[in-house]
Structure 1
Amino acid sequence: MTEQHFWEQKTLSEMTREEWESLCDGCGRCCLHKLEDEETGEVYYTAIACQLLDTHSCQCADYPNRKAKVPGCLKLGLEDIPQFHWLPDTCAYRLLAEGQPLPKWHRLISGSDNSVHEAGISVQVFAIPEQQVPEEDWEDYIIPMLPIE
């Protein structure tokens, strides 16, 4: 008999704070700056990382205080579930909200925090700290991901 994991038994709204936080795979994709096309409303990811993202570990350098240091930082909550479509299509929050399973490389499945890097999902190999690129040049760093609608 196979034991079900908490993410297979509970909805996002039924999870504890600890369970919710454990869903983050540490890819860093949501910490990339996004640009909106003013004419079409489409939003595009750039390779430019938030000032707090450690581009090696793909973790926030000051997670508890991120909202105070980066006012535009988004804290995902249950009220945001209808807007999860902007999250990367590999994101556990988005996948579970859409009724999809976690991928094999997710740390809750693999048991390793490095599996997201080993699978090539994280931004580790291409993210550029925002301090290194003037904001007026960010458009030059749009990455080839599907636009967010």
Structure 2
Amino acid sequence: MAGPEPFWRTKTLGAMTRPEWESLCDGCGRCCLHKLRDAETEELVWTSVACRLLDGESCLCRNYANRKAMVPDCVKLTPAKVAAIDWLPPTCAYRLLAEGRDLPWWHPLVSGTRETVHAAGVSVRGRSVAERDAGALEDHAVDWPGNWPPAARPKPRPRRADR
């Protein structure tokens, strides 16, 4: 007997409670990497340089409650902003749900643990550079934050024996 559908399959982003909304963050840290935008072409370039508040091991903000005061250009996501911005990583739950897609197998709400986001290679753990150590952002341009890691791709569903 199947249980009730999880909230992210039955509610729009705008209808979610604050705790539901916050639980969508998988803790990958990709959105906390600095990005560059070419002034002429508008092209987005990812870097491996992490915001000074990002803990490179846990991939969580060290001061989430006060992040806007400490980092004024930190973006507080809302349903309207999710629909308007182009720099959310393709693996981001907010982006996936806004696009009408489901959460992947490694998302903590699906797997039951925050470790699967790291095991699937989605997080910035071991791949980010601390802001204080970075120097020029241009020297740290990377493309991986804008891509799905091979290990994170959807797992094939098992075939049913009665087919």
Output the amino acid matched with 1:2: A
Equivalent residue runs for 1:1-149 within 5 Å? 1-3=1-3, 4-134=5-135, 137-145=136-144, 146=146
SS in 1 for 2:142: coil
Q: Which has the higher contact order (CA 8 A, sep 6+)?
A: 1
1: CA distance between counterparts of 2:82 and 2:143? Answer: 25
Question: Unpaired runs of 5+ in structure 1?
Answer: none
What is the deviation of 1:82?
A: 1.9
- Between structure 1 and structure 2, the one with the greater Rg is 2
Structure 1 stretches of 4+ with a deviation exceeding 3 A read: none
Q: Is the 8 A contact 1:84 1:93 kept in 2?
A: no
Normalised TM-score (structure 2): 0.85
Q: SS of the counterpart of 1:60? A: coil
Letter in 2 for 1:99: G
Cα root mean square deviation, aligned: 1.3
- TM-superposed CA distance for 1:81, in Å, is 2.8
Give CA deviations for 1:47-95 in whole Å, capped at 9, x if unaligned.
Answer: 0000000000000000000000000100001221322432000000000
Aligned residues: 145
CA distance in 2, matches of 1:102, 1:49: 24
Cα distance change on mapping 1:81 and 1:144 into 2, 3 Å? closer
How far apart in 2 are the matches of 1:121 and 1:78?
22
For structure 2, list consecutive stretches of 5 or more residues without a partner in the other structure: 148-163
Residue 44 of structure 1 and its aligned partner are, at CA, apart by: 1.2
Q: Quick one: distance in 2 between partners of 1:75 and 1:100?
A: 22
SS at structure 2 position matched to 1:79:
helix
